Every structure is written in structure tokens, then in C-alpha cells.
Amino acid sequence: MYILDSSAFINEYHTQERKASIPMVREELEDESAYRFDALEGSGMHLHIPEEETVERIERAARETGDFDELSRTDVRLVAAAFELDGHLVTDDYAMQNVAEKLDVAVEVIACEGITEQRDWRFQCSGCGREFDDDHDRCPVCGSDLSRKNPA
């Protein structure tokens, strides 16, 4: 089963495989993209609402990779749907791909190159330069802003 992100509808993604999405994706779409969603729903696309405990598991994984602040509520639920349905997540979103990779969820990209490796981001203070594994609103040492950086 292929779980479709909004980018699948925007880019007119096609597959002969079974398709699913979540109702929140429909809310993100406008014009022809929304019509494509409605047409697929009418022709048998499964709408899935993931369990709250799965959503929490995805959020934990996103915090571990450092992608949590990059993901919308819809993004988290799409990864959760792909996880629960043991499906392929269809998206161009790099943060979603990174979290999916951590959870061994298969990903298919549409209009861009997919990620080449899974990353666990680090966070660096712009003031004192200290690095942290976890994201904070501000540096717990000096109070400056933190920025996400590649750990490599």
C-alpha cells in the first residue's frame, strides 16, 4: 500500500498499487490537487487515522533524529499511517523521509532526489557554541538560539 502525502496529489503521482492517505492531507490541498484527492477517495483510496500511541512513537523518533520541529501534525500522522499499514510513504519531504528511515518505513520520492542516509541531528548554540543532542527553545547554558546542524 502507498500512503500519499500532499505532494503526491500536487505532482499527480500515479501507481497501480493500493493507495491510502489521511483526512488531514485533504485540508492542505486546493484546486485541482483537492479534486485529485476527492477522485481517488471516490475510487477506493483508503483513508486512515493512525492510533494515538503510534503518533506518539513517531514523535519520539522525530525528537531522536532532530526532525520534530520540522514536521507538521499532518506529517507526523502520515508517517504513523505508513508505519501502521506497513506501507510505502510517498513524499518529497526530507524530514519525513529521515524519520521514516529511522523506523524502517519504506519511502518513495516523487519530484526530488530522496535522502541518501538517515541522520540524527545535533543542535549548536549561536552564542557559546556548545552542542546538544536535543533541541531546546534556547541554550540552557547562555540563553542564545540553537541551530540544527549535520552531525557529520
Task: Encode pLDDT of 81-138 as tens digits.
Answer: 999 999 999 998 889 999 999 999 999 988 765 445 556 667 788 888 887 777 767 8
At 36-50, the pLDDT tens digits run 999 999 899 999 999
pTM: 0.74
All three cell numbers of 86, joined, read: 506497513
Average pLDDT score over the chain? 87
In this structure, of 3-17, 45-59, 138-152, the range with the lowest mean pLDDT score is: 138-152
Alpha helices (runs of H) in 2-143, residue ranges in sequence order: 6-10, 23-28, 31-42, 52-65, 73-85, 94-102
**pLDDT, position 61:** 94
Could you tell me the residue ranges of all domains in the chain? 2-108, 121-152
Can you identify the CATH homologous superfamily of domain 2-108? 5'-nuclease (3.40.50.1010)
All three cell numbers of 50, joined, read: 493512525
**pLDDT, position 152:** 58
CATH for 121-152, among 1.10.357, 3.30.70, 2.20.28, 1.20.120?
Answer: 2.20.28
Question: Are the beta carbons of 66 and 94 closer than 8 angstroms?
Answer: no
Rounded to a whole number of angstroms, the distance between the first and last alpha carbons of the chain is 34
CA distance 87 to 145: 38
pLDDT level of residue 57 (50, 70, 90 thresholds): very high
CA distance 67 to 103: 13
